[in-house]
Amino acid sequence: MSLIAARLDVSVATVSNALAGKGRVSPDLAARIRAMANDLCYVPGMAGRALRTGRSYVLGLVLPDIANPLFPQIAQAIESSAAEAGYGVLIADSRNNVSTQTEVIGRLLERGVDGVVIVLRRGTRVADVGTPVAVIDSPSTPGNTVSADHWQGGQLVMDHLIGLGHRKILIIGNNPDSIVQNDRIGGMKSRLSNGAESEVIWVEKVEARHGPGCPLGLADYYRAGFTACSAVSDLTALRALTEILGAGISVPENMSVTGFDDLVWSPVVRPSLTTVRMDLAAIARIAVEALTLAIERRAAGDDLPKGPVKAPPHHKESVPMSLVIRQSSARAMTTQRTDNGGYSR
């Protein structure tokens, strides 16, 4: 910048004004400055700007569990929205540990991030920091900024399965403490109709009894007349799918399987997985917008209300999910076989 100023024999202030379009600069001089800047491949140094303005144009993204297969989608969505708003994204991984979570948030703040996006799990509360925070979890979570409408997503699958004629539906959850999973299951149950019934099993509970990686005994449910498995996550659905296939029960002819989140492998397994997808792009956009709004306000002198930022008024706090119908769900068998469901093969 000072180089540009020297070359055109003007003051750096004028250069700054011209490039920022702020002060009073004559149109032609401004044009000459822009030309020269472009000529010299000048890019404003963030360090000086950050120092002067107190803003780094960097957001922190803290994930509770980086092994989470959703991470790529989330990171992609947040990074994209942030980039569009002129922000970079600094990642942090609190290894599902609530104490390291506060620690990594602290590190992000030391780095001078202007705001933080936190993806919660199991409804952890996040302490108040001096910086705007957006929380993505579930509409049921207190202090949630924006998230997918998991309840409605549950309704979506259940409507789909009921519509296909299924009447005995096994719901497979993972962790009973997860607000997200409970929302999804609640939505499912709310749409049981026409005498349809459901049963819920929790993977963590059966693993607590039989060890990690144990079979879920799905063949037994099949023999008991269940014709569909609705899992709260594609990971669980995949586990169910392979177990069912391995038991010689064909999918979707004898048993339908559905999941949640449309993870990478869902389209490629055979049969490809019917699932419910969140609109992470929209969610990220709203979260980032809420955050940047709060940042602007704070820079203007207002002090923030306590707690995570709220979704901007013209946006919904919960984003509808959409059903992705693939091969793993089909019409329920009309002639029900309640005995001899395979398993011996």
List contacts with its own copies (CB under 8 A): 43-48, 50-51, 54, 56-58, 61, 66-69, 71-73, 75-76, 79-80, 83, 88-93, 107-112, 213, 215, 235, 238-239, 241-243, 245-246, 248, 250-251, 264-265, 267-272, 345
SS3 88: strand
| Smallest distance, DNA to C-beta of residue 93, A | 26
In this chain, which of 35, 40, 48, 333 binds DNA, going by CB under 7 A?
48
Q: Which residues are within 8 A (CB) of 72 and not within 5 positions of it... i.e. 6 or more apart? A: 264
Contact between 110 and DNA by CB under 7 A: the answer reads no
In this chain, which of 36, 38, 40, 45 binds DNA, going by CB under 7 A?
45
| Smallest distance, its own copies to C-beta of residue 57, A | 8
Question: Which of its own copies, DNA, none does 14 bind, CB closer than 5 to 8 A by kind?
Answer: DNA
d(CA 184, CA 69): 18
The pair of structure tokens assigned to 245 is 């296939």
78: closest CA among 66, 88, 64, 92? 88
Q: Which residues are within 8 A (CB) of 264 and not within 5 positions of it... i.e. 6 or more apart? A: 69, 72
Whether residue 108 contacts residue 60, with contact meaning beta carbons closer than 8 Å, is answered with yes
Whether residue 258 contacts residue 160, with contact meaning beta carbons closer than 8 Å, is answered with yes
Is the CB of 93 or the CB of 159 nearer to its own copies?
Answer: 93
| Smallest distance, its own copies to C-beta of residue 221, A | 15
Is the CB of 85 or the CB of 323 nearer to DNA?
Answer: 85
Site string for DNA, 141-180 (x = CB under 7 A): ----------------------------------------
d(CA 7, CA 20): 19
Is the CB of 11 or the CB of 250 nearer to DNA?
Answer: 11
Q: Which residues are within 8 A (CB) of 335 and not within 5 positions of it... i.e. 6 or more apart? A: none
Question: Count of CB atoms within 10 A of residue 112's CB?
Answer: 16
Is the CB of 48 or the CB of 320 nearer to DNA?
Answer: 48
Site string for DNA, 4-33 (x = CB under 7 A): -----xxxxxx-xx-xx-xxxxx--xx---
Question: Which of DNA, its own copies, none does 142 bind, CB closer than 5 to 8 A by kind?
Answer: none
Contact between 293 and DNA by CB under 7 A: the answer reads no
Contact between 35 and DNA by CB under 7 A: the answer reads no
- What is the DSSP annotation of 189-253? HHT--TT-EEEEEEHHHHHHHH-TT----HHHHHHTT--EEEESSHHHHHHHHHHHHHTT--TTT
Local structure of residue 326 (DSSP, 8 states): -
Is the CB of 112 or the CB of 307 nearer to its own copies?
Answer: 112
| Smallest distance, DNA to C-beta of residue 5, A | 7
Q: Greatest CA span in the chain, whole angstroms? A: 91
Contact residues for DNA, defined by CB under 7 A? 1-2, 9-14, 16-17, 19-20, 22-26, 29-30, 44-45, 47-49, 51-54
